[in-house]
Structures are given as C-alpha cells and as structure tokens.
C-alpha cells in the first residue's frame, strides 16, 4: 500500500482510503455548489477510474468509490484539471465546512452561507497553523433560513441571525455574537484556542465537544476573547421538505446517500442553474422546473418526500466495506417497506458498530457482528443490544410481528 493511502474515517482526494471495493476519493466541494459541466466531468471520472458509484457524505462531500490502484494517478490528474484538487493534503483536510445550500434563493435566509463558507475555507487553507486541526474537526454555516444545519455534525457552528453571526460550540448551547464581517476571524480564534488548549491536555481531545466537556464553553470563548451573548435558541432540523418540486429548487433524494455516475450525469443535464449538494442525503437542482421529477424517479432516485427509503439509513456494508460482516442495504430496502408511514429515520442498519451512516439514536438499529445482527432499540450502534446473532429473516419476522415498536 502506498504511503499516501490511509485506513481511517476521513479520506480526501490526496489522501485516499482503501475500502472493500477499492479506493475512496473524497471531494470537498466549496459550499456544496457544483456547476453542471463539473458534475458531468466528476461522473465521467467516477465511471472511468472507479466502479461508477458515488456517495454523498454526511457533510455534503462527494466520494468516488472503487477507484482502481492503477487508475489513481489518472483520477487525481482529472480532478486537478477540474480545479477540484488542493495544493496538499493538509489544505484539503482543513476545508471541512458545510453550509446551508440555498442562501441565494431561500427568502428566510438571513445571510449568505456560501460566501461565508468560501471566506472561511480560504482563511483556513492560507494559514498552515490550522492544518493541525484533527481530521474530523469541522465548521457549519447555517443561513438561518429553511435549511437548518442543527443536526449536521460540526465542532464550531456559525449561524446568521439578523445582521450578525452567532458562533457556538458542539455540545453546548452558549453562543457568542459578532457582526457578519467578523465571523471568519471569530471562527479562526476559536479554532486556534482549540488547538492551543487541546495540546495542554493529556490525551489531547480530538473534537470540540470533548474539550467543552472538560473545561466548559465559557473558558474557550474567554480564551478566544469573545463574550458569550447567551443561550442559542434551538433550530429545527429542516423547516420544509427537501424532496420534490418547489419554487426555489427541485430536491432529489439519494437512497442511502448513493448515486451512480449515470444518475449524476442525468442530474447535471436537468440542472438549470447548478447542483447543490446537501448533508441530508439529497441533491437540490436550483431553479429546475417541476417537470424534471418523473425523469428523476425513472432513474431510480427519490422524487417524493414520503418515500419510505428516506426513513432508513444503512452504510455500504459487506462486501463494499472490509469492516462489515453483513449485507446492509438490501436488508434496509426490504425493511423500509414495513413502515411506510414513518417520518424521520426510524431504522439504521450498520455493518459494524462504527455507525458510519448515522450517529443519531433511532427506534431500531441493527448492527452486524460476526455475520449476525444485533438489535438495539432506541439507541446507537454502540448501545447495548436487546438481541444478538439474528439472521435477516429473523429481524424481518420480528418487525412484522409488531413485537418491536417502530
Ligand atoms: S459502519 Fe459500515 S461502512 Fe462504517 S466501518 Fe462499519 S461496516 Fe464499514
């Protein structure tokens, strides 16, 4: 294995990760906006150099899967030609910023999350000091409109509120408030304080929530020279359905967050303005007309907001992931039909207890272990199982029996 390859959770284009189906290259797309031509070119690279499957990650990044070892360098060259490659792996990794997708079209948006994301990424890349941030350390920029990012993992959360921006820390509801023009500087100060304080603790915390748990949010804000402005009012996950036709966009759901190169090509062809990647297992076609929806559905993508597939989560499982001992997605598809009235994700099928598809608690969680399935109720994959060693048929029978509250 080349020394550019790592086994771990956070692959990049310059730091591929090996999986059961080949190498994974993750692309961080600034603000989640992709021009149709660029989307077509990415789809071509995925088909030519990989297995043609593309994942939309939980932070809105694209992952090209199944890249063959002898195609890696050609894939990297192709990405560089598209302007999608950073100068080095450190610069790529630090661009871990997710933004509300429709600030320019959502009449409820209180600021331009895309512009702020661009500014923040530029500042993070420009100063090597920040390249020392842990690989998973990330920022979210919520425009205050319909597409709230409250459920998207982020260590530092920025949210537009009136003419200001509030900043809060993962695991805490205290917030500081700064004028919009100061938001990037404030976010950088917090990141700097994280790095400085984490170094003084043994072992150093890798995420903001862990540092907050140890020393409290007030101490972190004080070290950053920022005065808390009080408690941040809660935000709902999403104030509107994402999937379907709306005046601002057509929303397309991706079963399990995955699409094929051909499907990405189609979306690029249907896009009127551009493609907006979201952290919600959905792609938005900004400004597209409602009459594209039948073609979306024909292509095997989700065009209805009440599709039961939107209410189940499953990681790639076996054989795509080397850590999995069970198949996950076919099982999740079969089980999805048992709860067609569900709103919100009720079922999570995870190939192992790492829980890549969801870090949240769900009514039913199935976890692969030694070829069988553990059943966790109202919990996460790492929570104690009620039953272990179940076969897929036994799980299906249990759910059909009504003995398990879905
Ligand atoms: S949760 Fe799924 S994708 Fe993640 S490591 Fe385990 S088996 Fe692999």
Look at residues 81, 133, 103, 93 and name the one whose alpha carbon lies nearest to residue 33: 103
Q: What is the pLDDT of residue 237?
A: 60
> What CATH number labels 17-84+251-298?
3.90.480.10
Angle at 35 between CA 34 and CA 39, to 5 degrees: 70
Q: What is the pLDDT of residue 303?
A: 95
pLDDT at 406: 65
Distance, CA of 243 to CA of 240 (rounded, Å): 9
Task: Output the pLDDT for position 229.
Answer: 82
User: What CATH superfamily classification does 308-401 receive?
Assistant: Sulfite Reductase Hemoprotein, domain 1 (3.30.413.10)
CA of residue 65 to ligand 1 center, whole Å: 14
- pLDDT, position 6: 45
Q: What residue owns the CA closest to ligand 1's atom 3?
A: 315
Instruction: Please list the pLDDT of the chain residue by residue as tens digits (406 residues).
Output: 333 444 445 789 999 999 989 999 999 999 999 999 999 999 999 999 999 999 999 899 999 999 999 999 999 999 999 999 999 999 999 999 999 999 999 999 999 999 999 999 999 999 999 999 999 999 999 999 998 998 898 999 999 998 899 999 997 889 999 999 999 999 999 999 999 999 999 999 999 999 999 999 999 999 999 988 877 777 666 656 789 999 999 999 999 999 999 999 999 999 989 999 999 999 999 989 999 999 999 999 999 988 999 999 999 999 989 899 999 999 999 999 998 787 789 999 999 999 999 988 999 999 999 999 999 999 999 999 999 999 999 999 999 887 776 6
What pLDDT, on the 0 to 100 scale, is given for residue 344?
82
Question: What is the Cα–Cα distance from 69 to 27, expressed in whole angstroms?
Answer: 18
> Quick one: pLDDT at residue 5?
45
Atom of ligand 1 nearest to the CA of 368: 7
348 CA to middle of ligand 1, Å?
Answer: 12
What is the CA(355)–ligand 1 centre distance, in A? 6
Tens of pLDDT along 56-111?
998 999 999 999 999 999 999 999 999 999 999 999 999 999 999 999 999 999 99
- Determine the angle formed by the axes of helices 329-336 and 392-401, rounding to 10 degrees: 20
Domain residue limits, the chain? 17-84+251-298, 92-231, 308-401
Among 87, 82, 152, 80, which Cα is nearest to 117's?
152
Question: Which CATH number is 92-231's, of 3.30.930.10, 3.30.70.3270, 3.90.1150.10, 3.30.413.10?
Answer: 3.30.413.10
- Cα of 28 vs centre of ligand 1, distance in Å, is 21
* Residue 403 CA to ligand 1 centre (angstroms): 28
Instruction: Specify the ligand 1 atom closest to the Cα of 316.
Output: 3
For a mutational test of ligand 1's pocket, the pick from 10, 257, 350, i.e. the residue with the most ligand atoms closer than 8 A to its C-beta, is 350
Q: Do domains 17-84+251-298 and 92-231 have the same CATH topology?
A: no
Q: Which residues have CB under 6 Å of ligand 1?
A: 315-317, 321, 323-324, 350-352, 354-356
Half-sphere exposure of 237 (CA within 13 A, CB side): 12
CA distance linking residue 140 with residue 149, whole number of Å: 7
Ligand 1 atom showing the smallest separation from residue 357 Cα: 1
- What's the rounded Cα separation, in Å, for the pair 129 and 195? 9
Give the residue among 43, 32, 25, 31 at the shortest CA–CA distance from 89: 25
Q: Which tens digit of pLDDT belongs to each residue from 270-293?
A: 998 999 999 999 999 998 999 999
- Cβ contacts of residue 307 below 8 Å, gap of 6+? 243, 253
Are 15 and 4 a contacting pair, CB within 8 Å?
yes
So what's the pLDDT on residue 238? 60
């Amino acid at each position: 294995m080349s020394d550019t390859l790592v086994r771990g959770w956070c692959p990049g284009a310059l730091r591929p990760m090996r999986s059961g189906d080949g190498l994974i290259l993750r692309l961080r797309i600034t603000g989640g906006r992709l021009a149709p031509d660029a989307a077509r070119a990415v789809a071509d690279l995925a088909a030519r150099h990989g297995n043609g499957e593309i994942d939309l990650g939980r932070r809105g990044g694209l992952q090209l899967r199944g890249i063959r070892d002898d195609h890696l360098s050609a894939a990297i060259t192709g990405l560089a030609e598209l302007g999608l490659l950073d100068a080095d792996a450190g610069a790529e990794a630090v661009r871990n910023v997710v933004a509300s997708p429709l600030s320019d079209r959502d009449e409820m948006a209180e600021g331009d999350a895309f512009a702020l994301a661009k500014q923040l990424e530029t500042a993070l890349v420009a100063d090597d000091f920040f390249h020392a941030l842990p690989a998973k350390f990330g920022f979210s920029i919520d425009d205050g409109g319909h597409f709230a990012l409250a459920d998207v993992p982020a260590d530092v959360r920025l949210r537009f509120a009136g003419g200001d921006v509030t900043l809060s820390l993962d695991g805490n509801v205290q917030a500081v408030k700064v004028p919009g023009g100061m938001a990037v500087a404030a976010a950088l100060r917090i990141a700097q304080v994280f790095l400085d304080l984490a170094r003084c603790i043994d072992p150093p915390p890798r995420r903001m929530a862990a540092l907050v748990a140890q020393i409290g949010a007030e101490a972190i804000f004080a070290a950053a020279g920022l005065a808390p402005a009080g408690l941040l009012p809660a935000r709902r996950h999403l104030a509107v359905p994402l999937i379907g036709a709306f005046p601002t966009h057509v929303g397309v759901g991706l079963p399990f967050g995955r699409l094929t190169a051909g499907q990405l090509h189609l979306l690029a062809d249907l896009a009127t303005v551009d493609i907006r990647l979201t952290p919600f297992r959905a792609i938005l076609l900004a400004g597209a007309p409602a009459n594209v929806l039948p073609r979306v559905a024909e292509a095997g993508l989700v065009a209805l907001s009440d599709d039961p597939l939107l209410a189940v989560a499953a990681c790639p499982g076996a054989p795509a992931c080397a850590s999995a001992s069970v198949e996950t997605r076919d099982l999740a598809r079969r089980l999805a039909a048992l709860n067609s009235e569900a709103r919100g994700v009720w079922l999570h099928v995870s190939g192992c207890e790492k829980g890549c598809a969801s870090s949240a608690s769900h009514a039913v969680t199935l976890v692969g272990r030694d070829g069988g399935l553990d059943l966790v109720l109202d919990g996460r994959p790492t929570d104690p199982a009620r039953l272990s060693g179940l076969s897929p048929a036994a799980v299906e029978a249990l759910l059909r029996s009504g003995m398990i509250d879905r």
